[in-house]
């Protein structure tokens, strides 16, 4: 997560991002790979940094990006 070393978010945005991450990871089949969690987290961080604050939208964006990521 090298692109976010200097990112700063208020507590309410962090809470929204946590909700989105938890919801997105919960949809993944077992076993959940740490690489997938990292990709989801980075997508959520990017979208939140761009101003998105809806946890459902953050979750969907992250899962869509995960599907588009080459494996």
What is the tens place of the pLDDT at every residue in 15-62?
A: 999 999 999 999 999 999 999 999 999 999 999 999 999 999 999 999
Q: At what angle do helices 34-49 and 55-68 cross, to 10 degrees?
A: 130
**Position 6 in a domain:** no
pTM: 0.88
The total number of structural domains that make up the chain: 1
Range of the domain at 30: 11-68
**Position 32 in a domain:** yes
**Position 26 in a domain:** yes
């Amino acid at each position: 997560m090298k692109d976010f070393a200097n990112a700063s978010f208020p507590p309410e945005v962090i809470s929204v991002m946590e909700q989105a991450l938890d919801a997105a990871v919960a949809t993944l089949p077992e076993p959940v790979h740490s690489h997938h969690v990292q990709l989801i987290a980075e997508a959520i961080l990017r979208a939140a940094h761009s101003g998105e604050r809806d946890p459902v939208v953050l979750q969907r964006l992250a899962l869509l990006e995960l599907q588009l990521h080459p494996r």
